Amino acid sequence: MTFQNTREFAQELDAQDILAHYRNEFIFPEVNGKKVIYFTGNSLGLQPKRTKAYVDDVMNDWANLGVEGHFYAEKPWWDYHERFAKPLSKIVGALPSEVTVMNTLTVNLHLLMASFYKPTPKRYKILCEAKAFPSDQYMIQSQVQFHGLNPNDTIVEIQRREGEHNIRLEDVLAKINEVGDELALVLIGGVNYYTGQVFDMKAITEAGHKAGAYVGWDLAHAAGNIKLELHDWNVDFAAWCSYKYMNSGPGNASGCFIHEMHHNNTKLSRLAGWWGHNKERRFKMEPVFDPVRGADGWQVSNLPILSLAPYLASVDMFDEVGMDALIKKRDKITAYLEFILQQIDLEVDSTFEIITPTNSSERACQLSVFLHGEGRSLFDYLMKNGVITDWREPNVIRLAPVPLYCSFEDMYEFGQILKKGIIG
């Protein structure tokens, strides 16, 4: 398609968009009495209007039933999390038994590493990407130290080549082969938070397994954003937050995936808790842990139903839309945003550099833009003029045109505001 940088063309794209009406399902903040252009769904998604009803249901059941809400609420709390299994499995490409919801993202990664990072004197190294999200860096460092190892000797980071913004797949595969039989675990973010690069999870997982290592993924920026086939790729484990592309609210519950090949492995250690115990015998208060056969067997505590309610509202919406439709619009609106940026760059003779890969198979719903010659003042101008975006040092703004609630006209309008901000 040949794009045009006009409001009429953007409006025509919106008129053709089969997902356009979902924009009305969300609550937008306002600046100067006008709905914002919201580009930070890769940090915190907007609130769906239907969320309040799901939360109110729990509050009303709690008020009217008290503890009996565990069994007699309209959606009993006892098995509330089981409502996620089928729709979440579609989102991440898994069997329903392979997914669960619990805790928060980094907590879950710690719990999963308790099972899948078992260093030996020979096989102890962890492979991750350089400039991973800081929480992942801290988590991996602390796990290594917990096992009495030195992070400098244990953590192997895959670096970008000099002058390049993204990591090459061949460099990942080469590093896996280089570490070889010392490699215990590969743990990478499926989508890099800074650049928006999407990694080839299938190829990397295959290479990690060939080297004899477990392979896990942090899918914080991937779940609800890209096509995932975790079961078919034979990923050992994964975890993701729910508050970015999945719009469940700040700091909300995390999803987990554990491949079925591990479900009956009684030798695989885990940090156990009551809610992971055999569901049919849980209230018998037995002294010996008997895990549920499936991802639910990694649960630890009684689940926070008030946190799960907004997540369920969003998951139900995703089930209505389907990932294929989301991805189709995602690719089109991201390409249009890229076009708008390029046109504004030409009009104002600026020097924007999009550091996200140009290949649609290597990027998703994010463009990270390096503002050569522009500083924080441009970001501040955008924010004051109703463009909610994200700043990352040293000079990058991240733009996420989320397909559920961003419009093509938003992209055009952003370009006009950006041009005014540069011209001054």
Task: Note the pLDDT tens digit of each residue in 328-381.
Answer: 999 999 999 999 999 998 888 767 899 999 998 999 999 999 987 667 888 999
Do 7-49+323-423 and 53-321 show the same overall fold? no
| Span 387-404, average pLDDT | 93
Position 310 scores a pLDDT of 98
- pLDDT tens digits for 183-232? 999 999 999 999 999 999 999 999 999 999 999 999 999 999 999 999 99
pLDDT digit string, tens, across residues 246-298: 999 999 999 999 999 999 997 899 999 989 998 888 888 899 998 999 999 99
For the segment 370-397, the average pLDDT, to the nearest whole number, is: 88
Mean pLDDT, to the nearest integer, of 37-60? 98
Tell me if 217 sits within 8 A of 157, measured CB to CB.
no
Percentage of residues in the chain having pLDDT higher than 70: 99
pLDDT digits (tens, 9 = 90+) for 55-87: 999 999 999 999 999 999 999 999 999 999 999
Q: Alpha helix (H) ranges present in 17-130? A: 51-65, 69-72, 85-92, 105-116
Sequence-distant (≥ 6) Cβ neighbours of residue 423 within 8 angstroms: 348
* Residue in 250, 253, 229, 251 with CA at minimum distance from that of residue 239: 253
How much is the average pLDDT of 309-314? 98
Domain ranges for the chain: 7-49+323-423, 53-321
Q: Does residue 91 carry a pLDDT above 70?
A: yes
Can you give the pLDDT at residue 373? 67
Q: Which CATH class is domain 7-49+323-423?
A: alpha beta
Higher pLDDT, 385 or 290: 385
d(CA 195, CA 197): 5
pLDDT confidence of residue 392: 87
Mean pLDDT score across all residues of the chain: 95
pLDDT the model gives residue 131: 86
- pLDDT at residue 267 in the model: 82
| CB contact at 8 A, 387 and 417 | yes
The structural architecture, per CATH, of the domain 53-321 is 3-Layer(aba) Sandwich (3.40)
Phi and psi of 31, rounded to 5°? -130, 125
* 387 strand-pairing partners: 37
pLDDT, tens digit, for every residue of 322-340? Answer: 999 999 999 999 999 999 9
Task: Indicate the burial class of 372 (C-beta count within 10 angstroms; 0-12, 13-18, 19 or more).
Answer: exposed
CA dihedral in degrees (89, 92, 93, 97; nearest 10)? -30
Q: Of all residues in the chain, what percent carry a pLDDT higher than 90?
A: 88
Q: What integer pLDDT is reported at residue 337 of this predicted model? A: 98
Residue 59: count other Cβ atoms within 10 Å of its Cβ.
11
> Model pTM greater than 0.85?
yes
Average pLDDT over residues 376-405: 93
